[in-house]
Structure 1
Amino acid sequence: MARESVASQFWQAVSEGDDSRAEALVAQLGAEDVPSLTEQLRSTQPDIRWWAARALAQVGDARAVSGLAGALADPEVAVRAVAVRALAQLSSRCPDPVRTCLPAMAALLRDPDGLVRQAAADALALCGEDAVPLLAEILARGSAPERSRAAYALRKMACLPAAVVLYRYLDDENLLVRTHAYEGLDDLGYLENTLLLP
């Protein structure tokens, strides 16, 4: 199947509202489709923007990071949510440019919509150790809801640098922060070995 044919079939499926077919075609897109997908992040149609971000999560590279970062401020809830997830997925392929987006991604922890807040917390967890210092800062100075989501993200990382941060919050006044700290350390088996934590 020619590359142009895959891209055109993908957009045809999107325009027809055939989500299953569009999703199947995402896997057949390639790096050569990144510029046109990035361009579609500026479409006037929310569905087009959503699918562009979704496809970039799969095939995007450093060229897509700036466009996806801009989509974090999209007026549509679903587009903001998929954009932050896409950046998280790109973090494993092009960590340096995504690292510069971490503050904007973390800002979505206080988004008005719960779907976006959850997507941001999950995305920051996927970014791994690069996001630990930023999440530690939020835990130290953020609002109560932001702190809860930051603790959740650190717990979900399940790595030693996150555990070191969570250890400081085992006695936090915020019940959710305490719970995430306790369960995160327990999941890693560190509650019995806290003296070994730096």
Structure 2
Amino acid sequence: MSSPAPWANLYCRRRSMSDPLQVFLDAIAAGDDARTEEAALALSRLGDTALPTLRDLLADADLDCRWWAARALAAIGTPAARKLLATALSDPDPDVRACAAQGLGELQAAEAVDDLVRCLADPSPYVSRIAADALGRIGAPAVSALIAALQDGGTPARAGAARALSIIQPEDAVPALCAALDDPSAIVTYYAEEALERMGVGGVLIQP
């Protein structure tokens, strides 16, 4: 079989360069983080057209593929992309879970509040902290779930909830935060105090 003509190779190369998904996949394979980040951001122009490929990448055995799929979904940011991104909160690797939580927070994805609250109890403290900050960015839609976590969750969930509430500073969380000043966990107490100080309550104890 004869080798392809030079113009055929050039055509294939130009076609690859003009396909944002292929550029993205090639950058992942090359291990070039700067180029992959640029390609991930470029996928926002494709919108939901890119989702089937990104769904496959989220299921890939390779950690880098899954991480960059989550990053790209955050860049796309459509409702369907946010829904798919939320599934990455259950990824076996904490870096992927953290990437998903970060993206959902940046998108202020209120529909992911319950999933992010569950991540407050993540076995990785890093993921738990990122989830708390994401909930803080989401703001008011997360308050009721955060108050419930502060009152009834395990220690990591209570600490994360108090941290998120210190970012949001909602007045209706003051009673729960005051009650948390007597929490047996020092980290929960720390974040509760910080939240109350930011809200101007200071060291005043208000009974719920």
- 1:124 is matched with 135
Aligned partners of 1:188, 1:110: CA distance in 2, in Å? 25
CA shift in 2, pair 1:171/1:192, >3 Å: closer
Query: Secondary structure of 1:30's partner?
Result: helix
CA shift in 2, pair 1:34/1:194, >3 Å: farther
CA deviations on 1:21-43 (whole Å, 9 max, x unpaired) are 21233333324243424423233
Aligned partners of 1:170, 1:153: CA distance in 2, in Å? 16
Aligned partners of 1:35, 1:127: CA distance in 2, in Å? 26
1:102: how far off? 2.0
Greater Cα offset, 34-43 or 81-90: 34-43
User: What is the TM-score when the length of structure 2 is the normalising length?
Assistant: 0.77
Greater Cα offset, 184-193 or 12-21: 184-193
- 2:166 is matched with 155
Aligned partners of 1:65, 1:190: CA distance in 2, in Å? 36
Query: Secondary structure of 1:189's partner?
Result: coil
Counterpart pick for 2:152 among 141, 161, 168: 141
- Equivalent residue letter for 1:184: A
CA deviations on 1:41-100 (whole Å, 9 max, x unpaired) are 233322111111112212221011332222111112211111122222233xxx5xx42x
Query: Secondary structure of 1:43's partner?
Result: coil
1:174: how far off? 3.1
Greater Cα offset, 105-114 or 172-181: 172-181
Greater Cα offset, 105-114 or 160-169: 160-169
Note the aligned Cα RMSD (angstroms).
2.9
1:192: how far off? 8.6
Aligned partners of 1:32, 1:163: CA distance in 2, in Å? 44
- Equivalent residue letter for 1:133: S
- Rg comparison, structure with higher value: 2
Residues 171 and 178 in structure 1, CA contact (< 8 A), matched pair in contact too: yes
CA shift in 2, pair 1:117/1:192, >3 Å: closer
- 2:191 is matched with 180
User: What is the TM-score when the length of structure 1 is the normalising length?
Assistant: 0.80
Aligned partners of 1:70, 1:181: CA distance in 2, in Å? 30
- 1:67 is matched with 84
- Equivalent residue letter for 1:103: D
- Equivalent residue letter for 1:41: L
- 2:38 is matched with 24
Query: Secondary structure of 1:110's partner?
Result: coil
Q: Does 1:191 align with 2:191?
A: no
Residues 34 and 61 in structure 1, CA contact (< 8 A), matched pair in contact too: yes
- 1:6 is matched with 20
Aligned partners of 1:142, 1:12: CA distance in 2, in Å? 43
CA shift in 2, pair 1:192/1:44, >3 Å: closer
CA deviations on 1:155-192 (whole Å, 9 max, x unpaired) are 12244445564244344443222221222222233439
Aligned partners of 1:24, 1:162: CA distance in 2, in Å? 40
Aligned partners of 1:120, 1:111: CA distance in 2, in Å? 9
- 2:7 is matched with none
Aligned pair count?
190
Aligned partners of 2:21, 2:170: CA distance in 1, in Å? 39
- Equivalent residue letter for 1:117: S
CA shift in 2, pair 1:35/1:167, >3 Å: farther
Unaligned runs of 5+ in 2: 1-13
- Equivalent residue letter for 1:10: F
